[in-house]
Amino acid sequence: MAQHILNAVALGSVYLVFALGMALAWSTIGILNFAHGATFMFSAFTAHVVTQHVALPMPAVVLVAVAAGALIATLTQVLAFGPIMRRATDHRSAELRILIGGIGVAAIPLAIAERVTASAPFGFRGSTYQAQVFEIAGLRMTTTVLVIVVAGIGIGVGVWRWLATSRQGLALRAIGVDSETASLMGVDRSTLALGTMATAGALAGLAGALLTFQLGAIAPASGDQLLIKAFAIVVLGGLGSMGGVIVGAFVLAGAETFVLAMNQGTWVDAVSFGLIFAVLLLRPQGLFGRKEVRRT
């Protein structure tokens, strides 16, 4: 039982890092980035290509993936989402165009990775990192799991507190509540949007590197599967609540681990969709989300 709990915490930590980036952009600058999964995958793929030519330790591989994720997300904002938002006549039309644009952007890195790898899984075989296995109170743990758990929980709590207490975090929250009033108060939305997307991309790259180290390899389509899980986490926790994202990530991971422990592995993906349906029916604002008020 304790081993299953540890596995759920490790899986939830990866989900948390990935979902935080998606939630950060969606709940503050209003961008539901459907290219987030492709950013996750292509960041790990970039690190994979680098390690084929240069033997790097784990921190360097993670740094490459994080930098690649931040660059991809920044380019997506500058070349796609930014122009869409400037040309949109209203917020609702911008949301729809960004959603469709994100799907189109995601197809590009996916096609590149599938072409290079022939749709086969890829990993960091060229890395010098070797996971060490040890036991604590009967629990079997690797150094990879330890890094994932510490990074996931630390980053999750850090982003939550940063949004709640820092000046930039308060500005982002103001944009999420009322972007027009925030702009009148001197908040530079375009600069914050660029920084938010870069941060979200960096988190996607970090999640990609950590999951690849944990599993040994991921496939080009892995980002699409994780995107659905992140969507379920945000819906479950509540849009606008980073604390809700933290809880949602571990609830989803715990539910999936329980299903696997019951030898019902074919139902794992159904857990995400089931949580989305249940929350939308019973509590549309999520566990910790705020009710939305639209002005007329």
Per residue in 249-260, pLDDT (tens digit) is 999 999 888 888
What 3-state class would DSSP assign to 263? Answer: coil
Is 218 within 8 Å of 108 (Cβ atoms)? no
Per residue in 179-229, pLDDT (tens digit) is 667 776 777 778 888 999 999 999 999 999 999 999 999 999 999 989 989
Mention the CATH class of domain 2-282. Answer: mainly alpha
Mean predicted confidence (pLDDT) in 83-98: 83
Q: Where are the domains of the chain?
A: 2-282
Mean predicted confidence (pLDDT) in 30-42: 94
**Would you state the pLDDT for residue 3?**
84
Sign of CA dihedral 71, 73, 76, 78: negative
Of 15-24, 85-94, 198-207, 243-252, minimum mean pLDDT range: 85-94
Asked whether the predicted pLDDT for residue 294 surpasses 60, the reply is no
**Would you state the pLDDT for residue 295?**
44
Quote the pTM value. 0.90
DSSP secondary structure string, 93-160? HHHHHHHHHHHHHHHHHHHHHHHHHTT--B--TT------EEEETTEEEEHHHHHHHHHHHHHHHHHH
Mean predicted confidence (pLDDT) in 165-189: 77
Name the residue with higher pLDDT: 4 or 47. 47
**Would you state the pLDDT for residue 93?**
80
Is 32 within 8 Å of 98 (Cβ atoms)? yes
**Would you state the pLDDT for residue 1?**
73
Token pair recorded at residue 265: 């592995």
**Would you state the pLDDT for residue 172?**
82
Return the closest-CA partner of residue 9 out of 237, 262, 214, 264: 214
Per residue in 96-123, pLDDT (tens digit) is 899 999 999 999 999 999 999 999 999 9
Mean predicted confidence (pLDDT) in 18-23: 94
- Percent of the chain whose predicted confidence (pLDDT) is above 90: 54
**Would you state the pLDDT for residue 287?**
78
**Would you state the pLDDT for residue 290?**
61
Per residue in 120-158, pLDDT (tens digit) is 999 999 899 998 998 877 788 899 999 999 999 999 999
In angstroms, the Cα distances linking 214 to 10, 83, 146 are 9, 38, 10
In angstroms, the Cα distances linking 283 to 183, 230, 245 are 32, 18, 15
Mean predicted confidence (pLDDT) in 166-190: 76
Give 264's pLDDT tier (boundaries 50, 70, 90): low
